[in-house]
Structure 1
Amino acid sequence: MKSEAILMRIHIGESDKYEGKPLYKKIVEVLRENKIAGATVFRGILGFGKSSIIHTASILDLSEDLPVVIEVIDSEEKIEKIIPIIEKYVKNGLITLEKVKVIKYTAEGE
């Protein structure tokens, strides 16, 4: 399967919450409920955002709010439909979109 798709990246902080639950978990649940093709959560070791505060995983300067990036890939139509839903949850963060070319998308047993 080779096709064009959209990669959405959602940049938030590890300590961001929604109703007491980590925001990244809530976002992934919402993506799954909306039948998005796939999502992966990455935890950063160093970063800063709009506030310019550096967050790091260094032992000497351990942060409890490391950067988190959720990568989501699906068709442009499905990504455009999910954006307003995701925007409701992301109070502090960054959401970006870019076109990608899918080379292979399979699961074992298919």
Structure 2
Amino acid sequence: MQILNQAVSLRIFLGENDQFDGKPLYEAIVMTARERHLAGATVLRGPMGFGKSSRLHTSKILRLSEDLPLLIEIVDSEDNINAFLPILDGMMSSGLITLEKVQVLQYGEKAAR
């Protein structure tokens, strides 16, 4: 397998109920990333988690939470991610953002052999 490129993984941890301009924050972030032509974004919903407040958010029937933890992951070049960070900062009032350098092994469809 050939390493195609160095990139940065941007991870955004937030709650399902977080809002921006009257719509879910996770939707606003993904749509903004798309408008800025970032390589891609994925939203993952967690069945359980807690943050700074230590308040437990869970999808268990007996403790049903409507504010489940979400993770948005975006992988792109370091320059593109760095250009996106100030925009993201203006959209978020709370949450956690992490950056990690990654090696992209494949992007797009594999060529037919």
| Coarse TM-score class (shorter-chain normalised) | over 0.9
1:97 matched residue in structure 2: 99
2:48 matched residue in structure 1: 46
Residue 41 of structure 1: how far off its partner (Å): 0.2
Residue 106 of structure 1: how far off its partner (Å): 0.9
Residue 18 of structure 1: how far off its partner (Å): 1.2
1:66 matched residue in structure 2: 68
Q: Give SS of 2:86's match.
A: helix
8 Å contact kept, 1:12–1:90: no
Residue 44 of structure 1: how far off its partner (Å): 0.5
2:21 matched residue in structure 1: 19
Q: Which runs of 5+ in 1 are unaligned?
A: none
Q: Give SS of 1:60's match.
A: helix
Q: Distance in 2 between matches of 1:6 and 1:18?
A: 25
Q: Give SS of 1:83's match.
A: helix
2:10 matched residue in structure 1: 8
Percent identical residues: 51
1:81 matched residue in structure 2: 83
Equivalent residues, number: 109
Residue 19 of structure 1: how far off its partner (Å): 2.0
TM (norm. structure 1) is 0.94
1:32 matched residue in structure 2: 34
Q: Distance in 1 between matches of 2:63 and 2:22?
A: 25
Q: Give the structure with higher Rg (CA).
A: 2
Aligned AA (1:12):
L
Residue 20 of structure 1: how far off its partner (Å): 1.9
